[in-house]
Structure 1
Amino acid sequence: MSGKALLKTKEDKDATKVQVFTVQDGKEYILLREESSQSFAVDQKENSPFHNKCQELFCCPFWNFFILKKKEHIEEPQLKGIVTKLYSRQGFHLQLQADGTIDSTKEEDNNYAIFNLIPVGLRVVAIQGVQTKLYLAMNNEGYLYTSEHFTPECKFKESVFENYYVTYSSMIYRQQQSGRAWYLGFNKEGQIMKGNHVKKTKPAAHFIPKPLKVAMYREPSLHDLTELSRSGSGTPTKSRSASAMLNGGKTLSQHGST
Structure 2
Amino acid sequence: MSLLPPRSICVCLHVLVLYFQLQESQQTVADFRRYIENHTRNSEDLSRKQVRIYQLYSRTTGRHVQILGKKINANGEDGGKYALLVVETETFGSRIRIRGKESNHYICMNKSGKVIGKPSGKSEECIFIEEFLENNYTALVSAKYKGWYLGFSRKGRPKKGSRTAQTQQEVHFMKRSPKGAAEWSEDFRFTPVTKRLRRARRLKASPHAG
TM category, shorter? 0.5 to 0.7
Higher strand share: 1
Deviations 1:134-187 (A, max 9, x none): 11111111111111112111100011012210011110113xxxxxx1000111
Does residue 1:113 correspond to 2:113, yes or no? no
Superposed CA deviations along residues 100-142 of structure 1, whole A, max 9, x for unmatched, are: 2111225223100110011112211000000111111111111
Distance change >3 Å, CA 197–CA 217, structure 1 → 2: farther
Contact 1:139/1:153 (<8 A) preserved: yes
1:170 partner letter: S
Distance in 1 (CA, whole Å) between partners of 2:87 and 2:77 is 20
- Residues 58, 173 of structure 2: 8 Å contact kept: yes
Larger Rg: 1
- Is 2:131 the partner of 1:159? yes
Q: Which amino acid aligns with 2:176?
A: K
8 Å CA contact retained: 2:65, 2:76: no
1:199 aligns with 2:165: yes
Q: How does 1:141-220 map to 2 (within 5 A)?
A: 141-150=112-121, 151-174=123-146, 181-212=147-178, 215-216=188-189
Q: Percent identity?
A: 27
More helix by share: 2
| 5+ long unaligned stretches in structure 2 | 1-43, 192-210
1:84 aligns with 2:54: yes
Choose which of 109, 115, 120 in structure 2 pairs with 1:138.
Answer: 109
How many Å separate the matches in 1 of 2:85 and 2:190? 13
**How many angstroms does 1:189 deviate by?**
1.9
What RMSD, in angstroms, separates the aligned Cα atoms of the two structures? Answer: 2.3
Q: Deviations over 1:16-74 (max 9, x none)?
A: xxxxxxxxxxxxxxxxxxxxxxxxxxxxxxxxxxxxxxxxxxxxxxxxxxxxxxxxxx9
* Matched length: 138
Inter-partner Cα distance in structure 1 for 2:87 and 2:166? 20
Conserved 8 A contact 2:64-2:83: yes
**Change over 3 Å in CA distance of 1:76–1:159 after alignment to 2:** closer
TM-score by length of structure 1 reads 0.49
Cα distance 1:129–1:136, how it changes in 2: closer, same or farther (>3 A)? same
Unaligned runs of 5+ in 1: 1-73, 175-180, 219-258
TM-score normalized by the length of structure 2? 0.60
Change in 2 beyond 3 A, CA 1:80/1:198: same
